Amino acid sequence: MSLLAKFAAVDEARRALGEADPARTVIERLESATLGIINGAPTILAGTNNYLGMTFDEEAVEAGRDALTEAGTGTTGSRMANGTYAAHVALEAELADFYGYPAAVVFSTGYAANLGALSALLGTGDAVLLDADAHASLFDGCRLCPADLYTFRHNDPASLDKRLGRLGDRARNALVVVEGLYGVLGDRAPLADIAAVKDRHGACLLVDEAHSLGVVGAEGRGVVEEAGVMDQVDFVVGTFSKSLGTMGGFCASRHAEVALFPYASRPYMFTASPSPATIACTRAALRTLRARPDLKQRLWRNANRLHQGLSQLGVDVGEAPSPVMPVRLQQREAALAAWNGLLAEGVYVNLFLPPAAPGGGSLLRMSVSAAHTDDQIDCIVAAVAKVMKAIGASG
């Protein structure tokens, strides 16, 4: 029983959340990309990563349906064995073309892409410097490798510069790892400054654009594009599960050696490849992303509308609008009450309790979609106003 004893504390913490367990919220039915049925009630989905509203994209749905019919339900194997179909290779070529890089590799999830890229790159004697607020998958990927692991202060090029300097000549064997747009607070990495620092020390730079693909940059290529550093960044990783509305991940690079990652990456080798339908939906979604810049414009219009509405309530949502909008609440009980209150008002958001929120405290993470209507955004603002008043908090 000793192996299972640790779960008593988990169970106790879970029970303390009360009847509604945010980690086990069930969306009973989906009405659209932004409306679901939760606890039997229509609920606006303001806590997804469906930034472009792509999950019901007609072309993607049709492509997936066709692939199911033509290629079956799954590949039953690893990319290294029987799990590479022509469509997987085509998607890799299309991603490389999208970034203007020589090659890209497709992984089964975004998590696997981070583990797979990092474990392929980092060996004994190498060093990796990770932004302290980086996603868990990036920490896990670094821990999978024998390289020395260091952290630097979040979004602080000077902190990175000092640490690379302390590495001396070893900096040439160092990989700097950051996110483009951070998925909890919605803030952007100062990529131009970070790229300049890593160049000065001869290091490499990997940017996770999970939350910024299709969301930031003139062509939707992320913060690397917006910051004008596509020819300085060494590796871009990303996921299909947010703006593209499917599943899977990728690593694209200006270095052709990225095509050799599959031979050195256990997270690539030892898992089944994405299903034909998943790949077909992703390819269609990528085509839509490239052909319809209006989706990104609509997303930012909605982000601005929500930011303005919440700011007028006196809620602290930061100075700059972002598709990821955190509402900080220092008290855990207030955050839990607010989360429950919003759900009762028909608005689903994400809840981050300690220690999950960067900088401590608790927060509600709201995310915006291009598919939200003006009415839905206004309903979200009205629900926040009501709930904040009920719990006696304004930010």
Residues that bind another protein in the complex, under the rule CB under 8 A: 132, 148-153, 159, 162-163, 166-167, 354-355, 358-360
Beta pairing class for 235-239 and 174-179: unpaired
Between residues 97 and 333, which has the closer beta carbon with respect to another protein? 333
Shorter beta-carbon distance to another protein: residue 174 or 213: 174
- Is the Cβ of residue 142 or residue 281 nearer to another protein in the bound state? 142
Q: Are 23 and 16 in contact (CB under 8 A)?
A: no
**Residue 167: CB minimum distance to another protein, A:** 6
Minimal distance, residue 119 CB to another protein, in Å: 15
CB of 243 to another protein, least distance (A): 28
Secondary structure tally for the chain: helices H, strands E: 14, 14
How would you classify the pairing of strands 204-208 and 235-239?
parallel
Residues in the chain, total: 395
Run of H or E including 114: helix 110-121
Q: Which residues have a Cβ under 8 Å from the Cβ of 253 and sit 6 or more positions away?
A: 101, 102, 103, 104, 234, 235, 236
CB 197 within 8 A of CB 205: no
Minimum distance of another protein from residue 151's CB (angstroms): 5
Nearest residue (CB) to another protein, 228 versus 359: 359
If the CB atoms of residues 30 and 132 are measured against another protein, the closer one turns out to be: 132
Nearer to another protein, 25 or 159 (CB): 159
Cβ at position 338, least distance to another protein in Å: 21
Strand segments (E) across the chain:
29-30, 35-38, 41-45, 103-107, 127-131, 148-152, 174-179, 204-208, 235-239, 249-253, 324-329, 347-348, 350-352, 362-367
What whole-number distance in Å separates Cα of residue 389 and Cα of residue 344?
A: 14
Q: Nearest approach, Cβ of 355 to another protein (angstroms)?
A: 4
Kindly state the smallest distance separating residue 125's Cβ from another protein, in Å.
12
Q: Shortest approach of another protein to residue 197 CB, angstroms?
A: 15
H helices present in 172-275, as ranges: 191-201, 223-226, 266-269
Residue type, 278: T
| Minimum gap (Å) between residue 336 Cβ and another protein | 18
SS3 252: strand
Dist. CA 319–CA 150, nearest whole Å: 30
Q: Among residues 149 and 269, whose Cβ is nearest to another protein? A: 149
Nearest to another protein of 61, 149 (CB atom) = 149
Decide if 186 contacts 324 (C-beta within 8 A): yes
Nearer to another protein, 29 or 162 (CB): 162
Which residues have C-beta within 8 Å of that of residue 5, sequence separation ≥ 6?
none
